[in-house]
Amino acid sequence: SKSLSDEENLKLFGKCNNPNGHGHNYKVIVTVRGEIDPVSGMVINLTDLKEYMQEAIMKPLDHKNLDKDVPYFAELVSTTENVAVFIWENLKKLLPMGTLYKVKVYETDQNIVVYKGEETI
């Protein structure tokens, strides 16, 4: 985080605190919901969903240094939580309204973030 000292970054981010960056092979699972089309038997055509995921996830993020190559993260820490929000926001623009239910991002097998958009309590 640019707003923290080197010591604070080390304490907060541990081994992920590397001034030269570090990489992850994220795994993303997208869940949709809605009425099942009686003809196709699907909520959304899987070919369409794959294209939306390519546009919203792979194109802007794949093989990129998130902090340097993705404008969204220029002033925002590229945590897995913020990656999940980024993916949600991009997918929501492409998917039919109301069909996006959940974005699940695996940073590792033990570090997983689930995001369902902004929920009001």
Distance CA 58, CA 67 (A): 16
Which one of the listed residues 7, 63, 75, 119 is annotated catalytic? 63
Q: What is the pLDDT of residues 19-74, one digit of tens each?
A: 666 667 899 999 999 999 999 999 999 999 999 999 999 999 999 999 889 999 99
Tell me, yes or no, if 55 is annotated catalytic: no
Tell me, yes or no, if 107 is annotated catalytic: yes
- Tell me which fold the domain 24-115 belongs to: Tetrahydropterin Synthase; Chain A (3.30.479)
Tell me, yes or no, if 51 is annotated catalytic: no
Which one of the listed residues 16, 24, 81, 89 is annotated catalytic? 16
Distance CA 92, CA 56 (A): 9
- The pLDDT score that the predictor gives to residue 71 is 97
- Its pTM stands at 0.81
5 pLDDT higher than 90: no
120 pLDDT higher than 60: no
- Confidence tier at 119 by pLDDT (50, 70, 90): low
